[in-house]
Structure 1
Amino acid sequence: MRLFSTLFILCVVPGCHMTTSTCDELLSSEDAQFCKGQLKVIYPHLVVDKCMIVPQMFREKISKDWGPPQIQLPGADEEKKYTLLMVDPDAPSRQKPSRAYWRHWLLVDAKGEALQRGDAGAVELSAYARPTPPRGTGLHRYQFLVFEQPEGQSLSLSPQENSSRGNWDPQAFVETFGLTGPVASLQFLTQNYKD
């Protein structure tokens, strides 16, 4: 689980509109190492291309209005296929993550050439679930990880995994299907918009 575990020093992002924050100088070296590979997560009025905290003015939109983001990976290999995981390691809270990892989105067979353009063109194994941290649980990390798939590999979730999104073991999924990486990773932090 070391791959998915990180500590974060929080930074405040005032007025981030259409671009990400520049608070990476406040991140610990471990935090900075988590975000790699030029991955972009693009919502209608918010582009996340570095580790950041979602500004207050976008928290309700990201939790209630916006659907799945556009995913762009300029460095994707045109000839390869990729898997995208979106997880919350802080469910239901960072202090007591008893439901971690919560699987928010799982895409497989994303074509490299499509990812370069920002069109995942993938098979959805878990439909997108908006980030909706419970009230009073503070900031949650929403992590996006892209893995390279082995050629000819068919990926699926077990019946047990399909029955619940919580307590998912992404590392076991990665190992079961021989995924390589992550080749790119990114995260944003947000909390309940009413807090």
Structure 2
Amino acid sequence: MKWPETLVLLIGLDVLSHQKVDCSMNEEESMCIIEKISDSSVCRGELLVIYPGLGNAACAVIPRCRQFRRLLSEEWGEPRVKFVQAKQDKNYILIMVDPDAPSKKNPKYRFWRHWLVTNISGKDLRVGMIHGTVLSEYRPPTPPSGTGYHRYQFCLYEQPDDRIISLNKQETKSLGSWDLDSFVSSFNLGNPVASTQLITQNFED
């Protein structure tokens, strides 16, 4: 089975650990618990996805406390993405997609493309700086109300030295229903060198 196909087959959440964050909002939110999930099909390699105030959101379920879900959707910009194992003399491609668009029960618009950056130097990636050629601007996780939890998956590929990565005209017209498998195959990207995901739902639900 090709790697991108495995991304859509995730069903359950296996809670690995809980990270407790002190909250001072009200009595109900006296403790903020961030669930870390274990899913070896996606959580592979030490890929960090760092948001301000939240820290590393890799393989985590974003909690409602401290308005984390609202901040993620409405205020925080693109995260720092860090991969300390990156090769300094190589370039990388970062892809962020939602396989649960518009909902996990009816993902007819999978994969919704949220971010696509090419020509990221390994040197920058090792310190969490995403500088490169932006093919799709970052769009924050914004699950529609009533659609439940969505997975936002980050895949990092080593970029072939002899290939110029681009989107075709059809791909640039729409973010939804993106054929990720075809994109990966057409540029011979192979398997991701690292990947992760965060899980969240609409902050008003």
Distance in 1, Cα, partners of 2:175 & 2:58: 26
Q: Distance in 2 between matches of 1:46 and 1:84?
A: 21
Q: 1:176 aligns with which of 151, 167, 186?
A: 186
Change (3 A) 1:59 1:15: farther
Paired residues of 2:119 and 2:133 also in contact (CA < 8 A): yes
Q: What amino acid sits opposite 2:169 in the alignment?
A: P
Question: AA paired with 2:12?
Answer: F
For the 8 Å contact 1:13–1:54, the answer to whether it is kept is: no
Q: Which runs of 5+ in 2 are unaligned?
A: 23-32
Residue 34 of structure 1: which of 9, 28, 42 is its match? 42
CA deviation after TM superposition for structure 1 residue 182, in Å: 0.5
Q: TM-score, normalised by structure 2?
A: 0.85
> Pick from 47, 50, 55: which aligns with 2:55?
47
Mapped partners of 1:182, 1:127: distance in 2: 20
Greater helix content: 1
Structure 1: runs of 5 or more not aligned:
none
Which among 135, 142, 146 is matched to residue 156 of structure 2? 146
Deviation for aligned residue 1:128: 0.4
Give the secondary structure class of the aligned counterpart of 2:41: helix
Give, as a single letter, the amino acid of the residue that structure 1 aligns with 2:162.
G
Match of 2:64 in 1: 56
Please say if 1:118 is aligned against 2:128.
yes
- Equivalent pair of 1:142/1:188 in contact (CA under 8 Å): yes
Q: 1:3 maps to which residue? A: 6
Q: Amino acid of the residue matched to residue 78 of structure 2? A: P
CA RMSD of aligned residues (A): 2.0
> CA separation of 1:13/1:144 partners in 2, compared to 1, >3 Å: closer, same or farther?
same
Match of 1:78 among 85, 88, 91: 88
Counterpart CA distance in 2 for 1:192 and 1:71 is 23
Identity percentage of aligned residues: 41
TM-score, normalised to structure 1, is 0.89
**Within 5 A, what are the aligned runs for 1:91-130?**
91-130=101-140
8 Å contact 1:37–1:183 — kept in the other structure?
A: yes
Q: CA distance change for structure 1 residues 131 and 13 in 2, over 3 Å: closer, same or farther?
A: farther
Judge conservation of contact 1:51–1:187 (CA < 8 Å) in 2: yes
Question: What is the DSSP-based 3-state SS (H/G/I as helix, E as strand, rest coil) of the residue aligned with 2:135?
Answer: strand
**CA deviation string 1:40-87 (max 9, x = no partner):** 111111223541101113000000001111111100010111100000
